[in-house]
């Protein structure tokens, strides 16, 4: 049976990027950074095929409107999932037959000190996400979703704070540090070509050790709390049956399982921005 690998690709964590403007369409540097993003995705794809030439690889977009990678430059052996809304959001394509997940170009969770462009899901809306009392960023949330389907996250790339966060939520995961964070908008970084080389070379070893990863997992109901930046951002979400207000800026929801909690987080991020 062929190995099935999901590559979830964000943008803030790639080499060469240090400021929010650089990942926004219309900014003078965005088009260049789309190429750098696609190059890092390709490096991960090459690494998968170096490990298993018969693998099935899906690359799923995980930044903003999910239309950042350049399809014509993506490795033709990979299937691309792009556009919004797409089922599963940042983890579209994840299924019970997925063998491993790679996180490329990821950033730290909201509130992480000295972390390049740290935020969770929606920087303008969400201040914190807590599942059964544990604060999680996108790496943690996506790790738990992958674990629910039995797919270990085996590698994360980004700055050094990303590597530390990944190790906390998925002990045994491999990391590629493409830049060392100097603050929210500054970093000492690898040359983009070197970053790609390191990602490509790290993937086979990460896949080989996938059974050693011990990802965070939530079994059974999940007590979800999502703190937003301003009280008005709770109002639309409170129309959802079962949603409660824990305090002026915190929404509470008891989800029957983690995939439901994950969907509710996405919904709150969307409704909070309305």
Q: Tell me: the pLDDT tens digits for 248-264?
A: 999 999 999 999 999 99
Give dist(CA 9, CA 15) in Å, integer: 13
Predicted confidence (pLDDT) per residue in 59-111, tens digit: 999 999 999 999 999 999 999 999 999 999 999 999 999 999 999 999 999 99
Q: How many C-alpha atoms does 191 have within 13 Å on its Cβ side?
A: 3
* Cα–Cα nearest to 36, from 186, 142, 194, 188: 194
pLDDT class for 1, splitting at 50, 70, 90? confident
In order of 64, 227, 245, the CA distances from 233 in angstroms are 19, 10, 11
Predicted confidence (pLDDT) per residue in 214-235, tens digit: 999 999 999 999 999 999 999 9
User: Across the strands, what pairs with 6?
Assistant: 58, 101
Give dist(CA 79, CA 57) in Å, integer: 6
Contact 268, 147 (CB under 8 A): no
Please state, rounded to an integer, the average pLDDT across all residues of the chain: 97
Give dist(CA 142, CA 145) in Å, integer: 5
User: Across the strands, what pairs with 57?
Assistant: 5
pTM: 0.97
E strand intervals along the chain: 4-9, 56-61, 79-81, 100-106, 126-131, 134-135, 153-159, 174-183, 186-189, 222-228, 244-247, 250-255
Predicted confidence (pLDDT) per residue in 146-187, tens digit: 999 999 999 999 999 999 999 999 999 999 999 999 999 999
């Amino acid at each position: 049976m062929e190995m099935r690998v999901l590559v979830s690709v964000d943008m803030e964590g790639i080499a060469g990027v240090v400021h929010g403007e650089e990942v926004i369409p219309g900014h003078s540097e965005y088009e260049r950074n789309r190429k750098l993003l696609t190059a890092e995705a390709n490096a991960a794809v090459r690494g998968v095929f170096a490990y298993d030439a018969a693998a099935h690889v899906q690359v799923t977009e995980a930044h903003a409107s999910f239309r950042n990678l350049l399809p014509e430059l993506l490795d033709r052996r990979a299937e691309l999932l792009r556009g919004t809304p797409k089922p599963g959001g940042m983890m579209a394509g994840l299924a019970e037959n997925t063998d491993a997940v790679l996180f490329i170009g990821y950033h730290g969770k909201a509130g992480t000190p000295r972390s390049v462009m740290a935020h969770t899901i929606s920087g303008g809306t969400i201040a914190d996400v807590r599942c059964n009392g544990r604060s999680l960023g996108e790496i943690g949330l996506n790790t738990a979703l992958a674990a629910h389907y039995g797919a270990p996250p085996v590698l994360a790339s980004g700055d050094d704070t990303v590597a530390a966060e990944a190790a906390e939520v998925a002990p045994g995961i491999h990391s590629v540090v493409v830049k060392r964070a100097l603050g929210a908008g500054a970093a000492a970084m690898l040359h983009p070509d070197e970053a790609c080389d390191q990602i490509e070379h790290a993937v086979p070893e990460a896949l080989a050790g996938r059974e050693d990863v011990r990802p965070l997992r939530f079994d059974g109901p999940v007590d979800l709390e999502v703190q937003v930046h301003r009280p008005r951002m709770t109002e639309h979400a409170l129309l959802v049956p079962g949603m409660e207000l824990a305090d002026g800026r915190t929404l509470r929801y008891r989800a029957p399982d983690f995939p439901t909690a994950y969907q509710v987080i996405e919904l709150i991020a969307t409704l909070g921005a309305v």
